[in-house]
Chains A and B, each alone.
Chain A
Amino acid sequence: MGSRSSHAARIPDGDSIRRETGFSQASLLRLYHRFRALDRNKKGYLSRMDLQQIGALAVNPLGDRIIDSFFPDGSLQVDFPGFVRVMAHFRPVDDEDAALRDPKEPEPLNSRMNKLRFAFQLYDLDRDGKISRLEMLQVLRLMVGVQVTEEQLESIADRTVQEADEDGDGAVSFLEFAKSLEKMDVERKMSIRILK
């Protein structure tokens, strides 16, 4: 990548991003270089197209939804802090984080709840706080493509919503979602460890 120095001071707002996301200096630097590499035209921000050009992401069945999570509220650009905020959801949970944490401060981005929230918003397209049967169907359709018939998919969606829905409103709220996954090792499944 040409010559580059290792000063984190070059990252704009580096310190505040580090505090907010909890990434180490080295990891943040890695992510910054990655951001710059993805930003092909050196615009200073990423557009949807920059992310779509990653081959392994474009073939991911949920690729588009994942890209959407970087562009909340209909925005068309994501800058480095926004990029890192999303990545922070996948930061592995360190035990010392929990010990040192000040209970008055807001939950860290990589807490179990926030990881679950990230997964939830992959389903909940209209952001109404509930996964309706239709939204469930849509995600299922993304994951299976054309391989499964409509009836089979509907029965799977119905069963899933039924199992998770406790208050009988025909949709899965975030709390119901979290409850149905309480035995799941979310911390491990939704974590990406950046090596030094």
Chain B
Amino acid sequence: MEGAELAGKILSTWLTLVLGLILLPSAFGVSLGISEIYMKILVKTLEWATIRIEKGVPKESVLKNSAPVGIIQRDESPMEKGLSGLRGRDFELSDVFYFSKKGLEAIVEDEVTQRFSSEELVSWNLLTRTNVNFHYISLRLTMVWGLGVIVRYCVLLPLRVALAFIGITLLVMGTTLVGQLPDSSLKNWLSELVHLTCCRICVRALSGTIHYHNKQYRPQRGGICVANHTSPIDVLILTTDGCYAMVGQVHGGLMGIIQRAMVKACPHVWFERSEMKDRHLVTKRLKEHIADRKKLPILIFPEGTCINNTSVMMFKKGSFEIGGTIHPVAIKYNPQFGDAFWNSSKYNMVSYLLRIMTSWAIVCDVWYMPPMTREEGEDAVQFANRVRSAIAVQGGLTELPWDGGLKRAKVKDTFREEQQKNYSKMIVGNGSLNSESD
């Protein structure tokens, strides 16, 4: 009996602490500075670890370059140079060399597939999962790593899971309660309060440190907010600083419950999977939503899928055909503290959340950017590319013309035709001249 009493006392003190130090400040949007102290300690520890590793590793076997350099030596010269230099020369038997080399290079490494796996770190961050090529360096380093494992799994994980649980329950309960009220400004205010509080709790559940830049450009009502997509957490990060109406598919399970609860309090736009295919229906509903100035700005991720936060892939033009003002937002995670990328083919949602909750922290920067509208004579695709470039530049990401959906579908033939056109121009452009002289 004593054991149970003691356990009960510990649990209640712990709960009170959590309530006082985390839940209440979240409700008021106030920070007590605990996470800042944690981050400072973490940064110092990781710096120490990096120095130890660099001392311990001989200079020759220095760590691999990070992803942008690539693993093969590329000759990026255009087709003309690759095909032996002269413009308007004839077909040669050796022309296949160029294409076969390019093809094999793509098989060894292509810029798309690597974006669907986590970014490689330049220096180890004391997590087992990012331990790529590191050998045993020193006893102290291993001890710090071991301590880190204990801290992450035994101290942080239960805390975070509890917080997440509290956060989600509050969200579901709160939105259901607020949903009972009749439509009024009070309802909107309450629904915002509920959303913000629960999102802040959930962000603390991930030990998230988010820096918002340029808050003056925060998306306004009646606009569309567009951002690059790395993980489901993106939504959480954006909604902590403002309320949005979300667009997306109806999911089953836990996500479905959350979605259904949220839509009671304020109008989100959820689609069934079959409805998503009907582009006109989707566009119509979204247009209706933004036409109503009282409704919250829509949040859309035009890439359509999660990319690993080193690049921005093709934006689907559907979101840019709706009209209205586009508010671009760039989100860049710092991979040193925890990898936020969701590799949906490798991990399901639950194991992804567990990985996130056993990382050190989620640190990211959010840049709000000035609003953009479609200009005269610009079609949806050009507009989408313009917005994409702006986001890529701001976030320091590379731009790729490929479709994120490539991981599921085949590539379009138009790209191949372009290559064929270039090649034909070379051999036939002056071909008629040469065959005459034969």
Chain A residues close to B by CB (< 8 Å): 1-6, 30-31, 34, 37-38, 40, 51-63, 66, 87, 90, 118-119, 122-123, 139-140, 143-148, 152, 155-156, 159-160, 164, 172, 177, 180-181, 184, 186, 189-196
Binary flags per residue of B397-435, CB closer than 8 Å to A gives 1, else 0: 000001000110011000111111101110110011001
**Inter-chain contacts of A59 with B (CB < 8 A):** 411, 415-416, 418-419
A108 to B8, CA, bound (A): 72
A148 to B421, CA, bound (A): 9
Stretch binding the partner chain, chosen from B125-133, B299-307, B369-377: B125-133
A10 to B133, CA, bound (A): 14
Whether A122 lies near B100 (C-beta < 8 A) is yes
A34 to B71, CA, bound (A): 11
Binary flags per residue of B100-126, CB closer than 8 Å to A gives 1, else 0: 111111111111110001100000000
**Inter-chain contacts of B285 with A (CB < 8 A):** none
Q: Which 9 A-B pairs rank lowest in CB-CB distance, beginning with the nearest?
A: A145-B420, A147-B424, A56-B106, A66-B103, A59-B415, A144-B424, A193-B73, A59-B416, A62-B99
Whether A143 lies near B438 (C-beta < 8 A) is no
A156 vs chain B, min Cβ distance (A)? 5
Whether B106 lies near A143 (C-beta < 8 A) is no
Whether A61 lies near B108 (C-beta < 8 A) is no
**Inter-chain contacts of B419 with A (CB < 8 A):** 59-61
A78 vs chain B, min Cβ distance (A)? 11
Whether B428 lies near A147 (C-beta < 8 A) is yes
A146 to B428, CA, bound (A): 12
Interface flag for B1 (CB, 8 Å): no
**Inter-chain contacts of A172 with B (CB < 8 A):** 93
A58 to B435, CA, bound (A): 32
Which of B91, B100, B428 is in CB contact (< 8 Å) with A160? B91
Whether A38 lies near B113 (C-beta < 8 A) is yes
- A57-B106, A57-B107, A152-B431 in contact; A192/B101 too (CB < 8 A)? yes
B31 vs chain A, min Cβ distance (A)? 33
Whether B69 lies near A145 (C-beta < 8 A) is no
A3 to B101, CA, bound (A): 31
**Inter-chain contacts of B423 with A (CB < 8 A):** 61, 143-144
A143 to B94, CA, bound (A): 13
Residue with the greatest number of chain A CB neighbours at <10 A, chosen from B64, B111, B131, B428: B428
**Inter-chain contacts of A4 with B (CB < 8 A):** 132
Whether B102 lies near A60 (C-beta < 8 A) is yes
B91 vs chain A, min Cβ distance (A)? 5
Interface SS of chain B: helix
A14 vs chain B, min Cβ distance (A)? 16
A123 to B91, CA, bound (A): 14
**Inter-chain contacts of A53 with B (CB < 8 A):** 406-407, 410
Whether B96 lies near A31 (C-beta < 8 A) is no
Which of A90, A145, A189 is in CB contact (< 8 Å) with B421? A145
A166 to B273, CA, bound (A): 63
- A1-B117, A147-B420, A190-B101 in contact; A56/B93 too (CB < 8 A)? no
Interface flag for B98 (CB, 8 Å): yes
**Inter-chain contacts of A177 with B (CB < 8 A):** 93
A43 vs chain B, min Cβ distance (A)? 14
**Chain A residue, CB-CB nearest to B99:** A62
Which of A1, A60, A118, A140 is in CB contact (< 8 Å) with B118? A1
Whether A194 lies near B129 (C-beta < 8 A) is no
Interface flag for B345 (CB, 8 Å): yes
A89 to B108, CA, bound (A): 13
Whether A119 lies near B112 (C-beta < 8 A) is no
Beyond A147-B428, A195-B65, list 15 extra A-B contacts (CB 8 Å): A30-B108, A55-B402, A56-B111, A57-B106, A66-B99, A119-B96, A143-B424, A148-B424, A152-B431, A160-B91, A172-B93, A184-B94, A193-B72, A194-B108, A195-B72
**Chain B residue, CB-CB nearest to A194:** B72
Interface flag for B321 (CB, 8 Å): no
A168 vs chain B, min Cβ distance (A)? 18
**Inter-chain contacts of A192 with B (CB < 8 A):** 72-73, 101, 104-105, 108
**Inter-chain contacts of B111 with A (CB < 8 A):** 56
B346 vs chain A, min Cβ distance (A)? 7
Residue with the greatest number of chain B CB neighbours at <10 A, chosen from A180, A192, A195: A192
- A2-B129, A40-B345, A54-B113 in contact; A195/B73 too (CB < 8 A)? yes
Whether A34 lies near B129 (C-beta < 8 A) is no
Interface flag for B97 (CB, 8 Å): yes
Could you jot down 22 A-B contacts, CB within 8 Å?
A: A2-B129, A6-B132, A30-B108, A31-B108, A57-B103, A57-B110, A61-B423, A62-B99, A62-B103, A66-B99, A66-B104, A122-B100, A139-B96, A143-B96, A145-B417, A156-B91, A164-B93, A184-B97, A192-B104, A194-B73, A194-B108, A195-B70
**Inter-chain contacts of A119 with B (CB < 8 A):** 94, 96-97, 100
- A6-B132, A60-B103, A148-B428 in contact; A55/B420 too (CB < 8 A)? no
- A52-B410, A59-B411, A147-B428 in contact; A196/B64 too (CB < 8 A)? yes
Whether A123 lies near B416 (C-beta < 8 A) is no
**Inter-chain contacts of B132 with A (CB < 8 A):** 3-4, 6
A119 to B98, CA, bound (A): 10
Interface flag for B275 (CB, 8 Å): no
A192 to B101, CA, bound (A): 7
Interface flag for B365 (CB, 8 Å): no
**Chain B residue, CB-CB nearest to A41:** B345
Binary flags per residue of B51-77, CB closer than 8 Å to A gives 1, else 0: 000000000000011000111110000
**Chain B residue, CB-CB nearest to A193:** B73
B100 vs chain A, min Cβ distance (A)? 6
Whether B421 lies near A195 (C-beta < 8 A) is no
